[in-house]
Amino acid sequence: METAIIPVDPAMPVTPITPTDNNELLSSEVQPNKRRRKKSIVWDHFTIEKVGDGCTRACCMQCKKSFAYITGSKLAGTSHLKRHISMGICPVSRQKNQQTPEAKTGNSTYEPRKRYRAASGFANIPFNQEHCNHELAKMIIMHDYPLNIVEHPGFVDFARTLQPQFNMVSFNSIQGDCVSIYLKEKQRLLNFISEIPGRVSLTLDLWTSDQTVGYVFLTGHFIDADWNLRRCLLNVVMVPSPDSEGALQQAVVACISDWNLENRLFALTLDQSFSNENINGSLRALFSVRNPYMFHGQLLVGNCFARVISLLAQEALWTLGQSVKKIRDSVKFVKTSDTHEETFIHLREQLKVPSMKDIFIDDQTKWNTTYDMLVAACELKQVFLCLETSIPDYKIAPSMDEWKQVEILCTYLKLFFDAVNILTAPTYPTASAFYHEVSKVQLELTHAAMSNDPFISNLIKPLKEKFDRYWSDCFLVLASAVVMDPRFKMKLVEFSFTRVYGDDAGIWIKTVDDGIHELYLEYIAQALPPPETFVEGGNASISHEGNGGISHEGNADISHEENGAIKHEGNVGINHEGNGGISHEGNGGINHEGNGGINHEGNGAISHEGNGGIIPEENGGIIAEGNGGIISKGNGGIIPKTEPPEEGSSQEVSHQGVAHQEVHHQEIHHEEVAPQEVPPQDHLITIGDGLSDFEVYISEISGGQPMKSELDQYLEESLLPRISDFDILGWWNLNKTKYPTLSRMAADILSIPFSTVGPDSVFDTQRKNMDNYRSSLRPVTLEALICAKDWLQYGVSTDSSSFVKMEF
């Protein structure tokens, strides 16, 4: 509709009037000279009339009523004009609407037109049914919604309202979509774990169910390539008999197979419920087979730290059960009645109790809430003591002695609370952090058990006995972890052990020191590159294979497989043909030519000392101790441990230590020859110099200079300042070039888990129970839903572009 032109005095300049929808100031200087179309829909129902100089009014076409529009330079706007039409104020328009009911449906010409603006950025997005299905599956996984939510009428109607084109999927389809997300995320995580440089430690946590079957949750802990501590759920295995030995072995073996962890396990931490001799023994045997080189399978932590502390807290609360019950009932008496609570608050104000805590009723399934309730009640005990005089019905007040005993109890509950509180942090702590808490608990319980106060000693002695068993089970692993902290190293172990063990501390300190060095030697054995080939004349040639392995061919065939293990093959005997002498030539090679080297006296028998080792008598060559193994002493030798050879050989060689060994050949034959000159040898690379194989290797790569092991060098360096927010993993990452082997060992040790539960279960007094709905699901679906939720929550993103559809 064109703008109405109002007749004016010909002598006056003509200025077109353009109605607008706002109250902006108008002036002839800013008005355009050409006419513009009106924008507001009110001009379908109004005309404008000039009623005087500088005054223009809007006139309704129906009822002919006029309204202010322009007065001088001010606009009245169009809002009041819209209301006149849309709200039925116009009598003519209202009468027509009453006579024509269909006008209410939107067909009336008098109803204002509504203009809709399409939302920018979304109008052109095409509907994608498959993408919606994928997001629905993610929602179900993330929020633990039941799979049959797709069959709930309310949810179906809601989804259809949001998007009429969406077709709700079936139960089987959404189940398949959830499993597909799980499989895709599992492959991503599998690729990620396969690229980490170190090993993986596992925790086993047991859930129960009303169907009496168990569910073993296996969680992996490891350091990734960027030196971040990772913790992710790997498997949920349903076991029909949780107490059986085979069930737990089956769960561990399934996890190893699923995630390609063969020979990559480092430590295994169990739930408290698994801690019986038979189950621990069977798992330790399995662990030794699957992980033969890491402390020979000894890195088995039998108890979860959080579970142990929870059991101690529950036992302490049970010991004072009557006193705790009186306080709990007193709190209930106040909190379950508005009148009683008002009286309690009034007394508190009168007594001016300085405590800022409020009393509350505890949750008896979480012992920390009971501890908090007792602490708050103890701080307000004066109010409870006066409550009896104000409320005659209150007859359950604890006595002063009971209050005192509960206060002592809270002292040790606080010790337990602080110890496990590190597990509630957003990030999982490194193994070294546990040492501080565990050793503190051990020390405090030791002192309390010897208290002169009979109440304290009687309360703590049973707790100390239980905690001693946990300490003896894992102190070596804990101490090894704190040694990897450059702020403490062995110094903290020496200090804390002295306080705990007194005069016997030296024995335990040596145990830790020997254990650390033994573990380091095993890492050296794995990392040691193969030396140059040894060539031995006659029937006993030696070739080096694999990671430092030695293969003896002929009559003395010994094959070193994997990382230094010795496998005896052939006749196991040693037969020196020809001159029988040993001449060191070249780069440490052994060539049996001439009669130089070792002179065997008598009938050629070899004297074995220690536990069956071989000691060449001359210049202190290789010293082999243990059960037939070769122990290269010095800074970082190799300790391949082997079993004694099978029986049935013809000569028995006596050992002064543990075992004796038989060889097929009764004597070592030496042919009589004239003495020959032996060419001068490089003393840095000959075994006759008294150097071990590893020392020979170190001498070669260091230019012949003596070289300390990384571990000894690390231990001898000064301690770092004790910074509270010290990033221990960041420090090892910065020093991994300086300590290439030791840093790998530190990463594996620091990732050892000491708790099998998550942050939300640290204070639980009852085991987690699988609900009936989840128990009814197929095992593969249950594992998919639980594991996928963990991966999606903790950083594993899902890319819907490669979504695989599955049907059940």
DSSP β-bridge partners for residue 68: 57
**What was the pLDDT predicted at 69?**
80
Kindly state the DSSP code that residue 804 receives in the 8-state scheme. Answer: P
- In sequence order, what are the beta bridge partners of 545? 549
Q: How far is CA 704 from CA 514, 567, 695, in A?
A: 27, 32, 10
User: How far apart are alpha carbons 497 and 476 in whole angstroms?
Assistant: 12
* DSSP single-letter state for residue 609: -
Q: Do the bridges between strand 769-770 and strand 651-653 make them parallel or antiparallel, or are there none, so unpaired?
A: unpaired
Residues 6+ apart with CB under 8 A from 243: 279
680 DSSP 8-state letter:
P
Q: Measure the CA–CA gap between 56 and 612, rounded to whole angstroms.
A: 119
Whole-angstrom CA distances from 529 to 202, 696, 757 are 29, 13, 40
Residues 6+ apart with CB under 8 A from 523: 741, 742, 744, 745
- Alpha-carbon Rg for the chain in angstroms: 42
Mean residue pLDDT of the chain comes to 74
Per-residue pLDDT of 653-690, as tens digits, reads: 333 333 333 334 334 344 444 444 444 443 333 334 44
Nearest Cα residue to 671 out of 569, 556, 537, 571: 537
Cα–Cα distance measured from residue 720 to residue 29, given in angstroms and rounded to the nearest whole number = 79
Sequence-separated (6 or more) residues with CB below 8 Å from residue 754: 269, 301, 304, 305, 431, 434, 438, 474, 478
Instruction: Give pLDDT tens digits for 600-634.
Output: 444 433 343 444 343 333 333 433 344 433 333 33
Three-state secondary structure call for residue 46: strand
Give the span between the Cα atoms of 614 and 617, in whole angstroms: 9
- CB-based contact 417:317 (threshold 8 Å): no
| Neighbouring residues of 802: CB distance < 8 A, sequence distance ≥ 6 | 184
User: How large is the angle between the packed helices 367-379 and 400-420, nearest 10 degrees?
Assistant: 140
**274: which DSSP letter?**
G
| Under-50 pLDDT residues of the chain | 1-35, 101-112, 116, 118, 531-692, 702, 796-808
Question: In Å, how far are 536, 673, 676 from 596, measured between CA atoms?
Answer: 14, 11, 8
477 Cα distance to chain centroid: 18
Q: DSSP letters of 291-320?
A: STTSGGGT-EE-S-HHHHHHHHHHHHHHHT
295 touches 322 (CB < 8 A):
no
Using an 8 Å Cβ cutoff, are 608 and 653 in contact? yes
Contact (CB, 8 A) for 755 and 271: no
Boundaries of every domain in the chain: 43-87, 178-258+268-285+770-794, 305-424, 430-526+726-755
Which tokens sit at 125? 């997005």
Return left, alpha or beta for 548; rule: phi > 0 is left, psi -120 to 50 is alpha, else beta: left
What DSSP element (H or E) covers 236? strand 229-239
What is the per-residue pLDDT for 280? Answer: 62
Tokens, residue 26: 């108008």
Whole-number Å distance between alpha carbons of 559 and 569: 7
Q: Note the pLDDT tens digit of each residue in 500-510.
A: 888 999 999 99
Residues in CB range of 61: below 8 A, 6 or more apart: 45, 46, 47
DSSP string, 74-99: EE--SHHHHHHHHTT-SHHHHHHHHH
3-state helix/strand/coil string of 502-513: HHHHHHHHHHHH
Q: What is the 3-state secondary structure (H, E, C) of 195-216?
A: CCCCCEEEEEEEEEECCCCEEE
**Burial (CB count within 10 angstroms: exposed 0-12, middle 13-18, buried 19+), residue 708:** middle
Q: Is 397 helix (H, G, I), strand (E, B) or coil?
A: coil
What is the token pair recorded at 201? 């430690």
In angstroms, the first-to-last Cα distance of the chain is: 64
Farthest CA pair distance, the chain: 147
User: In this predicted structure, what is the pLDDT of residue 797?
Assistant: 43
Amino acid sitting at position 198: G
What's the pLDDT at 416? Answer: 97
What whole-number distance in Å separates Cα of residue 349 and Cα of residue 345?
6
Rounded to two decimals, the pTM is 0.65
Which residues touch 223 (CB under 8 Å, ≥6 apart)? 196, 198, 229, 230, 729, 747, 748, 750, 751
- Whole-angstrom CA distances from 171 to 177, 425, 807 are 10, 38, 10
Which of 139, 221, 230 shows the shortest CA–CA distance to 181?
Answer: 139
Alpha-carbon distances of 308 from 363, 417, 420, 429, rounded to whole Å: 19, 12, 10, 18
| Pairing, β 300-301 against β 265-269 | parallel
Rounded to whole angstroms, how far apart are CA atoms 801 and 808?
A: 22
